[in-house]
Structure formats: structure tokens, C-alpha cells
Amino acid sequence: MARRKGGFRRKTGHKLQKPIRNKGKLSQRSFLQKLEVGDNVQLIAEPAYQNGMYFPRYHGMVGVVKGRQGDCYNVSIKDHDREKVLIVHPVHLKKV
């Protein structure tokens, strides 16, 4: 059986790119933001912080916060006809 080359962030160079003036910076506000159950959030990856990052296929999607799990949030998104629940750190979420 063929073995997959690469890993989680393969072919995501442009998708997980920060603007040049924001490179190396990590927003404390987004890191410590509090979200409520039922809030609509957009999945925007913070490439400088890999913990709690979702699979890059879901980048830019909008979901609903279903609850907390440790430091992260359970976010429900619709992927075609399926509903999926992702565990995402708040630094990767933007309130809509």
C-alpha cells in the first residue's frame, strides 16, 4: 500500500500565510477571547500557534460553538451534507 508523503500542513503555504507586517506576532486578545455557546465563529488559522489547529480543509468556514473542551471549543460545521464537530483553540477562531 502506498505511504502518504508529507503531514498535516502539506501544500498549505499560501493558505496558512500571515501578512508580512504581522509575522511573528501573536494577538493576546484572540488568545484569551471568551466565546459563548451558540456564537457564530469563522475558522481562521493562526500559523504561529499550532496547538488546537483544525485540518486546513476547513479554513474560512463558519461554524457554531457547541461547548468547551479544556482550553478549546467544540465547533460544529457543515461539510457538504454532514455536520462535523471540530476541537479548536480560540486563537484560530474569529467571532462573526
- Domain of 91, CATH number, reads 2.30.30.70
In a domain, 41, yes or no: yes
Task: Tell the residue number behind the cell numbers 503555504, with chain if given.
Answer: 13
Domain that includes residue 43, residue range: 25-95
Evaluate if residue 40 carries a pLDDT over 90. Answer: yes
Q: Confidence band (pLDDT; 50, 70, 90) for 13?
A: confident
Measured CA to CA, the distance from residue 19 to residue 51 in angstroms comes to 20
When pLDDT is cut at 50, 70 and 90, the band that residue 59 belongs to is: very high
In this structure, are strands 62-69 and 82-88 parallel, antiparallel, or unpaired?
A: unpaired
pLDDT for 8 equals: 84
pTM of the shown model: 0.89
Read off the C-alpha cell for 15.
493558505
Q: Specify if 67 maps to a domain.
A: yes
Which of 45, 53, 50, 54 is closest to 79 using CA atoms? 54
Residue 70 lies in a domain: yes
The answer to whether position 12 is within a domain reads no
Answer yes or no: is 59 within a domain.
Answer: yes
Number of domains composing the chain: 1
